[in-house]
Structure 1
Amino acid sequence: MTETPNPNIIDADTLTGEMRPIRRVVIGLGSNLGERMSALQGAVDALADTPNVWITGVSPVYESEPVDCPEGSKKFLNAVVLADTTLSAHRLLDRALAIEDAFDRARSEVKNSPRTLDVDLIVVGDRRSATDALTLPHPRAHQRAFVLKPWSDLEPDAELPGAGPIADLLADLDVDALTPRPDLVLDLE
Structure 2
Amino acid sequence: MNRRLAQGYQGDSRDPEHPETTAVVALGANLGDRAATIDEALRDLGRMPLTTEVRAAAPIESVAVTVDGPDADAPGYLNTVALVTTRLAPSVLLGYLHAIEARHGRERRERWGDRTLDLDLIAYGEVRSSDPGLLLPHPRAAERDFVLGPWLVVDPDAVLPGVGRVDALLENLSGGGS
Residues matched between the structures, number: 161
Cα distance in 1 between the residues matched to 2:157 and 2:43: 26
Question: Does structure 2 retain, via aligned residues, the 8 Å contact 1:66–1:75?
Answer: yes
Provide TM-score, normalisation by structure 1: 0.80
Letter of the structure 2 residue corresponding to residue 10 of structure 1: R
Residue in 1 that maps onto 2:33: 35
Letter matched to residue 77 of structure 1: L
Q: Secondary structure of the residue that 2:102 maps to in structure 1? A: helix
Query: Which runs of no fewer than 5 residues in structure 1 stay unpaired?
Result: 1-7, 13-18, 176-189
Quick one: which amino acid aligns to residue 11 of structure 1? D
Tell me, what secondary structure is at the counterpart of 1:11? Answer: coil
How many Å separate the matches in 2 of 1:73 and 1:174? 22
How far the C-alpha of 1:10 sits from its partner, in A, is 2.8
Rounded to whole Å, the distance in 2 between the matches of 1:48 and 1:29 is 14
Calculate the aligned-residue CA RMSD, in Å.
Answer: 1.8
Point out where structure 2 has 5 or more consecutive residues left out of the alignment.
1-11
Alignment correspondent of 1:98: 99
Q: Distance in 1 between matches of 2:13 and 2:103?
A: 32
Letter in 2 for 1:42: E
Task: Return the alpha-carbon distance in structure 2 between the equivalents of residues 59 and 69 of structure 1.
Answer: 26
Deviations 1:104-138 (A, max 9, x none): 00111x22000000011111111111122110001
For 1:114 and 1:56, the matched residues in 2 are separated by: 26
Give the CA deviation at 1:144.
0.4
What is the distance in 2 between the residues matched to 1:118 and 1:11?
A: 32
Name the % identity. Answer: 38
- After superposition, residues 108-119 of structure 1 pair within 5 angstroms as 108=109, 110-119=110-119
Partner of 2:47: 49
Change (3 A) 1:56 1:102: closer
Provide TM-score, normalisation by structure 2: 0.85
CA deviation map 1:26-73 (0-9, x unaligned): 110000011111110111010111111122411011000012356542
